[in-house]
Amino acid sequence: MQPSSAAAPRYDERLTAPPLWWVIVLLLGLTGGLTVFPVGLLATLITVIVVSLLAGAVVSSYGSARIRVVAGSLVAGDARIPLTALGEPEVLDPEEARAWRSYKADPRAFMLLRSYVPTAVRIEVTDPADPTPYVYLSTRDPQALAAALSG
C-alpha cells in the first residue's frame, strides 16, 4: 500500500556523525584494550569490544537527529512545529551559521545544531503565543530545506 502524498516527507535528513568520529570510536576501543593488556589477552579483547560498543552508541545517538518536513509540520529532533507558525526560512552560509550559533544566538531559540555541519537554516517563529524567537537547524542542504519549508 502506497503512503498518501500528504504523509510523504517533502524533506528528510539525518544529521549523521562524520566518518572521522567512527575512527575515533575504534581508537578509543583500542586505547581501552591497551590499558588492560597487562591483565591478559581475554581482558584486552573484552575491553576493546565494550569500549567500542559504548563509544559507538554515544556517536550513533548523537548522529541520529532528524529534520523532516512532513504533513504540514517541521519535525526537528523532538520538536514538531506546524508550518503555519513559521515565517520565511533564511539560508545561512558557514560564516553566518557560525555567527547565529555563537554571538548572535538567542537563548530562547530552538536550536538543533551539529558543529560538524557548517551550514544551517534559520526560521522566525511567527506564533505570538510562542516565546521562541526562531528555529536554528544545522543542515547539509539548506536550499532544499528552505524550499520544502516555503513550498
CB 110 within 8 A of CB 136: yes
What is the average pLDDT score of the chain?
Answer: 91
Average pLDDT over residues 60-83: 91
User: Phi/psi of residue 53, each to 5°?
Assistant: -65, -45
State pLDDT tens for residues 83-109: 999 999 999 999 999 999 999 999 999
Dist. CA 84–CA 107, nearest whole Å: 23
pLDDT for position 1:
43
Q: Which residue has the higher pLDDT, 151 or 150?
A: 150
Dist. CA 71–CA 88, nearest whole Å: 18
pLDDT for position 2:
46
Say yes or no to pLDDT of 130 above 70.
Answer: yes
